[in-house]
Copies of this chain bind each other. A is one copy, B any other.
Amino acid sequence: MPAQQAPAGDTPAGDDRPPVSLWERLARPAPAPRTTLTPQRIAEAAVAVADAEGLEAVTMRRLAAELGVAPMAAYRYVSGKDELIELMVDFVYGRLPLGTPAEGWRDTMRALALNLRAMHLAHPWTVRAATPFSLSPHQLAVPEHAFAALAEHGLDADTTMAVFRTVTGYVHGSVTTEVTLNALRRERGWSDGDQTRAGLAPRMSWLMDTGRYPNYQRYLHTATRKDDPDWQFETGLDCVLDGIAAHFAL
């Protein structure tokens, strides 16, 4: 009985969708203990490239070169680039510190949000690559962790999910804008907020000179915490947590 098939993820019968997932395949023990290539090594190398040069630098050829291997070698382990990215995302989620969720729902959710943000800031490509419902083991551990903390407060299943989705929705959306701005700054070489505003000035002042954004312009002139992303994130997060506490009387 073959433990694996080629190409990866396909069944012998010709059904259109492979019913056996990446994770199911990888969990089966490797029949031959080859060490040259392994899902771990593939994920590590791909994540390293993405961290250093962005997701667009992760190419099947580049990955192969990084591993010292032929361009097609990784296809024994992932069925295509989509699965490679699933593997990368799961690898990063595996390093998310979840710890013990025993300090009450609010501290648990707050710590989870901060940890998720830190993860996305350390691996900026994850905000675009991480699709919910990819159902990878380490991604599923996140709702599992949150549900465990939320379960002790008498919330029904739907409300529990609503709380979870509200928090993670805020985190994902908020961090996306943060990471996008960071990427722009990095590729343009702007190190601090003043350089960023200077670089954006031509586009910005042209838009402002149209006179169609008076309120936005007032914000630009009077805001003082534009360069404090931690404050911005945590302020919004505390809003969300306050709202959950108020809305569900927790």
Contacts and interface: CB of A to CB of B under 8 A. Distances in A.
Interface string A202-240: 111011001011111011001111100000100110111
B239 A243 contact: yes
Nearest to A220: B157
Question: Which of A151, A223, A239 has most chain B Cβ within 10 Å?
Answer: A239
A243 B202 CA distance: 37
Interface residues of A: mostly helix, strand, loop or mixed?
Answer: helix
Interface size range on A against B: 35 or more
A5 interface: no
A144 interface: yes
Nearest to A166: B236
Interface stretch (A45-53, A72-80, A168-176): A168-176
A21 interface: yes
A169 B144 CA distance: 23
Interface in A119-142: 128, 131-133, 135, 137, 140-141
A218 B157 contact: yes
B202 A161 contact: no
A114 B148 CA distance: 31
